[in-house]
Structure 1
Amino acid sequence: MSQAVELMIAGMGFVFAFLIILVFATQAMSKLITRLTPPEPATPARTPRATTPAPASVDPDTAEAIKKAIAQFRARHKK
């Protein structure tokens, strides 16, 4: 029974040591990579585009053409 406990403690110790080494190796690699890679270029801020205002009213001929197009569409797509 005591041999099993010793083996368990030794195994847990090796796993713990491996994880500690892994954490330090990962941190070291991260620092190395950040030193070797060039910094990302700054992206310029987007400027909002000026929008043109919509006309206050629609030309009567255009309104009539829209009405006819809607009527034609509805006639073709009846269920």
Structure 2
Amino acid sequence: MHESLFVQGLELMLYGMGTVVIFLSLLVLATSAMSRFISRHFAETSAITVSARPPATGKPQAVDDSELVAVISAAVQSHRQRRGR
């Protein structure tokens, strides 16, 4: 019972880190198991989300930036008006 303070601190650190590692490992396993369960038993919802993505053609798609620029400009203008500039 007369261990040094350093040894006690080291033991406490190892117990704490071990607890965290075990908890995170169990969390990863539980998440993987739930993901497999959902994909097996609810395959129709997975098919809907996958088909909603645009097809990957390898080429970047043409994007109309004028609408994006207008939205960003309006947001900046609104922010500046609220701050009083």
Q: What is the TM-score of this pair, normalised by structure 2?
A: 0.45
More helix by share: 2
Of structures 1 and 2, the one with the larger relative CO (CA 8 A, separation 6+) is 2
TM-score, reference length from structure 1: 0.49
